Amino acid sequence: MRTYKILGFLLTYPTQEHQAALEECLALLRHEKILSDKGISSLEELMASFEKTDLLDLQDEYVSLFDRTPSLSLHLFEHIHGDSRERGQALVDLSNVYAEAGLVITAEETPDYLPLFLEYISNLPPSDVNENLSSVIDITTAIGERLKNRGSFYSLVFDALSEAASCKANPKVVAAALNKASGEAYDLEQLDKEWEEQFAFDNTLPINGQNDDCPRASEMLARMNITPEEKEVRK
């Protein structure tokens, strides 16, 4: 299912390769039909923005959003564990999951980098794709809402992820995350302070109503079939 790999590709640092591959990406999205016509049309708008915007401007915006705004980080475990020791072990576990699936990381990114995660699930059976994507839906939805606050067309990718997930994000969890950080740009002093603090998702919030069956972000590794016993062995 190359749709998920394409969504990840759209979230990587923009290069000339992006602009050259947009037409092919759009054709693949239409062929697979994992997303609705409305969802694909929205992504077509995003791609049109890529094509008409100067590459240097695209790159500058990308860095401003994803590299200089901690609450928009594309590294999933930063939203769960911050910079705690637990993140290190989670990264090791996730790296092992990728290796077992035959995915070799060649990019200079940690395993929890969202485009890598989307490439991983693109190789899974549909049922496993839905489970894994739903396990991080609270995080990706919050990032998408923050991007909307910044007026960024990248929010359209996160709308597509929400559409593709088998369950909806928990509104209480997302609201709490947005209350902690709305996605606004920081000056250098604020940025330094933000990186010093752990802004992990509050996984203690209950999930009620229609979200009862929706996996929590903290269950991400469990949804990848890592049992507590396996995790203990890998330590």
Q: Considering its fold, how many domains does the chain have in total? A: 1
**CA dist list (Å): 158 to 54, 155, 180, 200, 211:** 23, 5, 19, 19, 19
Burial 183-212 (b: 16+ CB within 10 A, else e): beebeeeeeeeeeeeebbbeeebebeeebe
Q: What is the per-residue pLDDT for 160?
A: 95
- 97 part of a folded domain: yes
Domain that holds residue 173: 70-234
Q: What is the per-residue pLDDT for 17?
A: 86
In 3D, which of 174, 143, 165 has the Cα closest to residue 156?
143
- 204 part of a folded domain: yes
- 226 part of a folded domain: yes
- 208 part of a folded domain: yes
- 221 part of a folded domain: yes
- 59 part of a folded domain: no
Q: Could you tell me what percent of the chain has a pLDDT over 90?
A: 46
Calculate mean pLDDT across residues 89-113: 83
- Residue pLDDT, tens place only, 20-46: 899 999 999 999 999 999 999 999 999
- 116 part of a folded domain: yes
Q: What is the per-residue pLDDT for 101?
A: 83
